[in-house]
């Protein structure tokens, strides 16, 4: 509205100027000159900014035993009593496998230009390696065709945590180099068959989550608490798998295919925006992400990380490091919560400042509210590693999302969160940080890992008994953002 009004005002002024009216105040005349183009709102994003939403295979698809799919570590884990809230599983989830056409219409109604989904490895290679299952890949052929027919660009993630159980059984999953090699082959196969239509591929979603939670803390699949030496080896195999996948996609993908990853790096946010704390936050970001994003971008483990691993460090060859740091076309960042950092006199130059007990969070206890993380995240990535193409591959929030008497969900907390975070993202692009797109997590409520269905992150409310999807108030908000290409 404001934009239209001001445009009308400018048009009037411009018309008066063309007629040579002499009674226009000087200030207004300057405005007339600036108004040959519609004035961009100070809250707007660059033309062509890619607005999208995101989901992941095990969280939405269901159909876990269809068309040749075999179990993943998440099927095994969720079927182990006591691992997931209310012992929920992804057996049905959002039944997206059968309802994808309707779900694409939900996206179309939002006006999104892009959709980030993940491919279930155990659909494509049910045993992790060996013979591919063409019927499994066909689901993604259908999905991609449906997206393109509706003017939505597909962005595919190859690994969003559903490792084929067979690989876990054979060599301990990511503990084994065999898994990294199998991942490379799977990536090459997918690239060969989808990159005629899918132009952006993410290798791995969030090392920082599935490695730590799955192999170290044990609260995610495969539920292990490995001793340090084996855990560091698993981390190394993970980044190696990423590198092998990048190489395989380059070798088998059609020209023009772009490759990156989607990492939830720890983002150091300066406690105060001045030179010393900003420098400390940048250092912290490079240091704390040493085992994942830093080695991928720099081709070596930092001295500090090597020192931290000590005698438990894995054997690392120069060849491994070369593979791990295969050049990327873009970096995707999943960004939710801040890690506050201050300058410190100690050898590292920084200190992480824990959130005080009174620090506000969204309904998920880990989801501390800190909009400026969406400014500093991409800022650090661009500056530390000279990255020219960045995507926010996930951002969003959970909410209690209790339907009101009229059946609608008035999720004003989610809108509050998004409005504040997007304002900081807008600040980043206005400063010239090369963020090209934003994928809101998530299109619809879904299986939230160990939290089961208790935690809702969707723009659409899902009634799991009927599979009915209802847009929440935040869906209307996001539609408005996309239509204006500006913070609403």
DSSP character string of 251-308:
HHSPTT-EEEEEE-PPPEEESSSSHHHHHHHHHHHHHHTIIIIIHHHHSS--HHHHHH
Q: Which is nearer to ligand GBH, 75 or 394 (CB)?
A: 394
Cα separation of 221 and 224, whole Å? 8
**Min separation Cβ 21 and ligand GBH, Å:** 57
Site string for ligand GBH, 21-60 (x = CB under 6 A): -----------------------------------x--x-
Task: Give residue number: closest CB to ligand GBH.
Answer: 209
Q: How far apart are CA 466 and CA 444, in angstroms?
A: 14
**Residue number with CB closer to ligand GBH (59 or 333):** 59
The DSSP result for 126-156, as a single string, is TTSSSS--HHHHHHHHHHHHHHHHTT-EEEE
Name which of residues 65 to 104 contact ligand GBH (CB under 6 A).
none
Residues 431-470 that bind ligand GBH (CB under 6 A): 441, 448, 457
Q: Which stretch binds ligand GBH (CB under 6 A): 201-209, 238-246, 316-324, 465-473?
A: 201-209
Q: Say which of 61, 206, 372, 448 is annotated catalytic.
A: 206
Per-residue contact string for residues 125-154; x = within reach of ligand GBH by CB under 6 A: ------------------------------
Which residue number, 27 or 366, has a Cβ lying nearer to ligand GBH? 366
Nearest alpha carbon to residue 155 among 125, 113, 185, 213 = 113
Rounded to whole angstroms, how far apart are CA atoms 169 and 159?
Answer: 18
Q: Measured from the CB atom, is 195 or 395 closer to ligand GBH?
A: 395
Q: How many CB atoms lie within 10 A of CB 337?
A: 19
334 binds ligand GBH (CB under 6 A): yes
**Three-class SS of residue 390?**
strand
CB of residue 409 to ligand GBH, shortest distance in Å: 18
Q: Mark whether 394 is an active-site residue.
A: yes
Question: For residues 10 and 231, which CB has a smaller minimum distance to ligand GBH in the complex?
Answer: 231
- Check residue 163 for interaction with ligand GBH (CB under 6 A): no
Give the footprint of ligand GBH on residues 360-379 (CB under 6 A). 366
CA distance 253 to 359: 46
**In the block, residue with structure tokens 């970096």:** 331
- Binding residues for ligand GBH, rule CB under 6 A, total 15
Residue 336 in the binding site for ligand GBH (CB under 6 A): yes
CB of 269 to ligand GBH, least distance (A): 16
Q: How far is the CB of 206 from ligand GBH (least distance, A)?
A: 5
Q: Is 438 helix (H, G, I), strand (E, B) or coil?
A: strand
Helix (H), strand (E) at residue 436: strand 435-441
Q: What mask of x and - would describe binding to ligand GBH in positions 203 to 242, judged by CB under 6 A?
A: --xx--x---x-----x-----------------------
Q: Find the shortest distance in angstroms from Cβ 107 to ligand GBH.
A: 18
Q: Minimum distance from CB of 174 to ligand GBH (Å)?
A: 17
- Strand arrangement of the beta sheet that strand 339-343 belongs to: 268-270, 339-343, 350-352
Q: In angstroms, how far is CA 401 from the centroid of its own chain?
A: 22
Structure tokens, 485: 């290409």
User: Is 276 labeled as catalytic in the residue annotation?
Assistant: no
Find the catalytic residue in 212, 263, 394, 448: 394
Task: Give dist(CA 213, CA 235) in Å, integer.
Answer: 12
Site mask for ligand GBH (CB under 6 A), range 246-265, x = bound: ------------------x-
The two structure tokens encoding residue 451: 């939290």
Q: Which is nearer to ligand GBH, 31 or 205 (CB)?
A: 205
Nearer to ligand GBH by C-beta: 336 or 340?
A: 336
The minimum distance between CB 338 and ligand GBH, in angstroms, equals 13
Nearer to ligand GBH, 116 or 380 (CB): 116
What length is written for the chain? 488
Q: Phi/psi of residue 393, each to 5°?
A: -85, -15
| Least Cβ distance, residue 297 to ligand GBH (angstroms) | 20
Complex with ligand GBH: residue 411 or 448, whichever CB lies closer = 448
Beta strands in 3-87 (DSSP E): 50-54
CB burial readout 104-139, b (16+ within 10 A) else e: bebbeebebbbbbbbbbbbbbbbbbbeebbeebbeb
Residues 379-398 close enough to bind ligand GBH by CB under 6 A: 394
Q: If we measure between CA atoms, which residue out of 418, 439, 431, 334 comes closest to residue 50?
A: 439
The least CB distance from residue 334 to ligand GBH, in Å, is 6
Tokens read off for 317: 């060859």
Q: Could you give the residue numbers annotated as active site?
A: 206, 394
Residues within the interface to ligand GBH (CB under 6 A) = 56, 59, 205-206, 209, 213, 219, 264, 334, 336, 366, 394, 441, 448, 457
């Amino acid at each position: 509205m404001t934009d239209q009004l001001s445009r009308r005002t400018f048009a009037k002024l411009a018309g008066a100027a063309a007629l040579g009216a002499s009674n226009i105040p000087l200030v207004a005349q300057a405005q007339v000159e600036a108004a040959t183009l519609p004035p961009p709102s100070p809250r707007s994003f660059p033309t062509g900014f890619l607005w999208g939403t995101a989901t992941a295979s095990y969280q939405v698809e269901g159909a876990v035993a269809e068309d040749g799919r075999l179990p993943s570590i998440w099927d095994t884990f969720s079927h182990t009593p006591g691992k997931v809230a209310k012992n929920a599983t992804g057996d049905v989830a959002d039944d997206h496998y059968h309802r994808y056409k309707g779900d694409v219409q939900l996206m179309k109604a939002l006006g999104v230009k892009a959709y980030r989904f993940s491919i279930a490895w155990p659909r494509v290679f049910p045993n992790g390696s060996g013979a591919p299952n063409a019927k499994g890949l066909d689901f993604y052929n259908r999905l991609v065709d449906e997206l393109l027919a509706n003017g939505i660009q597909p962005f595919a993630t190859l690994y969003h945590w559903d490792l084929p159980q067979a690989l876990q059984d054979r060599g301990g999953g990511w503990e084994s180099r065999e898994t990294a090699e199998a991942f490379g082959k799977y990536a090459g196969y997918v690239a060969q068959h989808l990159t005629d239509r899918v132009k952006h591929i993410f290798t791995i979603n969030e090392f920082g989550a599935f490695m730590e939670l799955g192999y170290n803390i044990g609260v995610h699949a495969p539920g292990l608490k490995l001793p340090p030496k084996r855990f560091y080896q698993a981390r190394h195999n993970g980044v190696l798998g990423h590198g092998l996948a990048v190489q395989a996609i380059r070798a088998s993908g059609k020209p023009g295919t772009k490759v990156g990853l989607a990492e939830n790096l720890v983002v150091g946010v300066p406690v105060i925006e001045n030179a010393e704390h900003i420098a400390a936050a940048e250092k912290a970001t490079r240091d704390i992400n040493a085992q994942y994003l830093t080695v991928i971008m720099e081709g070596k483990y930092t001295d500090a990380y090597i020192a931290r691993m000590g005698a438990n460090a894995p054997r690392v060859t120069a060849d491994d490091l070369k593979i791990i740091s295969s050049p990327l076309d873009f970096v995707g960042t999943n960004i939710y919560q801040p890690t506050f950092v201050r300058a410190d006199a100690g050898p590292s130059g920084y200190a992480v400042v824990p959130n005080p007990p009174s620090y506000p969070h969204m309904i998920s206890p880990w989801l501390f509210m800190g909009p400026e993380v969406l400014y500093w995240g991409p800022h650090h990535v661009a500056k530390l590693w000279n990255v020219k193409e960045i995507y926010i591959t996930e951002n969003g929030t959970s909410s209690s999302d209790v339907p009101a008497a009229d059946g609608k969900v008035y999720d004003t907390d989610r809108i509050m969160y998004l409005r504040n975070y997007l304002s900081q993202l807008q600040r980043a692009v206005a400063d010239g940080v090369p963020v090209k797109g934003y994928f809101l997590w998530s299109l619809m409520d879904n299986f939230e890992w160990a939290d089961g269905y208790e935690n809702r992150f969707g723009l659409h409310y899902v009634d799991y008994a009927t599979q009915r999807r209802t847009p929440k108030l935040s869906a209307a908000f996001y539609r408005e953002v996309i239509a204006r290409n500006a913070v609403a």
